[in-house]
Structure 1
């Protein structure tokens, strides 16, 4: 599995806060998750969305949470211990070991952005989905890029940050816009795309988003600093970005694209 460049001691807290800040239940319902479904949460992390999915499918349904990070799975099992209709699996999403056509509904959020070659992973999601079932991928498009007014230090530095992540891990900041084509080429039908804000901040960002980016930028420093010519230049960019988040005169927003398709 591709190395997860965002791993840190604070990552579980960041992921939980991020998941709780987004209207995931609305996205799940809109894309067809229903009571009684057998569902799969791919890249489940600490289990926040798995918990929501298990509640949505109810006692007649079930959910499997899949991840390759042992610590995240421990956190997910603890979070969902009170639920009797979900379990967790340590596996690579490109070769899960799950049986063919096992799920009515397969969900993955914030995973495909880290996959340099998304096609094998998408093929695996289709393999484990039954005929007539739905595959749904929720992912970013240009996360962190849309700001106005934008200081030159941020405007010039952000492509360097993206270049660092792309080189280190194959991270794709525009993967969200690519999923429609990938779904069609994979053979999914009735493909639809839902556009939603990941965040919209007119003025000063709240404490959750500020902490999210503080964790991101500190974690990425070893990878990103060489692209800025050194640690001090990277830290200057990081301070400028954090100042932008807190600027009461600036608009900041990021886009989430939720792509769904039906397996014939």
Structure 2
């Protein structure tokens, strides 16, 4: 499985995203407790793993999984002071971990990229103990919540997200689908929490602007050919960046944090 967002700046972007987002609130909302054995599935550079390690304390244990050895190396560096954390390379669809090994399984911004995402969800449930919790945090309609938004740009954004789905299987609406998938899988007490991923009332800060520049650059080879070619693609990306800089425009995105219990 190829990670479509890969770039020379991706580790930095992910770590900033992990540390400035609402992961801590989501972890607490969904019942993470001291002493829990936790799986961070798709841990990236380990920013959220670090939060989990602090919340479960030294009586707990955290396992971080990722396909990228580069990400895991950074995650080990970020978490070097936590003796109760370990990392290993693995695919979330086939972790190789034993059944019922964890009290709490966390997965954020991973299923959107996985083509057979519900197989991955079933694997996360398998490695969670009976009575344990599986938590999936995903956005819904990422990058589409903007007002005012000129019609040509709004239409391009829809074509952009459709191109992502067709070329690399990235689903920007996966967040709304997890509740149904967990119910169909037979998980119990399935609940959904709605959190802001970001709210930008006015001009975006430099970090957000850079985040979007990095995204557009990484996705260019896959998506530009379907959106009129390189020149048109870069021109519309610039229009979106101008919208981010507009002091009179609202930009927002939501997270759907879905939790279920393995019966």
TM-score (norm 2): 0.98
Q: Aligned partners of 2:117 and 2:219: how far apart in 1?
A: 23
Q: CA deviation at 1:142?
A: 0.2
1:82, distance to aligned residue in structure 2 (A): 1.1
Q: Is the 8 A contact 2:168 2:222 kept in 1?
A: no
Contact 2:22 2:195 in 1 (8 A): no
Post-superposition Cα deviations, 1:61-118, rounded to whole Å, max 9, x if no partner, equal 0000000011101110111111100000101111101000000000000001112222
TM-score between the two structures when normalised by the length of structure 1 = 0.98
Alpha-carbon distance between aligned partners in 2 of 1:26 and 1:230, rounded to the nearest angstrom: 41
Shift of 1:152: 2.7
Separation of aligned partners in 2, 1:167 and 1:53: 34
Q: How many equivalent residue pairs?
A: 263
Q: 2:227·2:233 contact (CA, 8 Å) conserved in 1?
A: yes
RMSD: 0.9
> What CA distance in whole angstroms lies between the structure 2 residues aligned with 1:192 and 1:36?
23
Partner of 2:63: 64
Work out the CA distance in 2 between the residues paired with 1:57 and 1:165: 37
Measure how far apart 1:139 and its partner are: 0.3
2:35: which partner in 1?
A: 36
Q: Which runs of 5 or more structure 2 residues have no equivalent in the other structure?
A: none
Aligned equivalent of 2:121: 122
Distance 2:207 2:255 in 1: 18
- 1:48-87 pair list within 5 angstroms: 48-87=47-86
Structure 1 runs, 4 residues or longer, greater than 2 Å off? none
Paired residue secondary structure (2:55) = helix
Q: Distance in 1 between matches of 2:223 and 2:130?
A: 43
Query: 1:160·1:224 contact (CA, 8 Å) conserved in 2?
Result: no
- SS state at 2:95 partner: coil
Q: Which runs of 5+ in 1 are unaligned?
A: none
| 1:251 pairs with 2:254 | no
Distance in 1 separating the partners of 2:22 and 2:154: 29
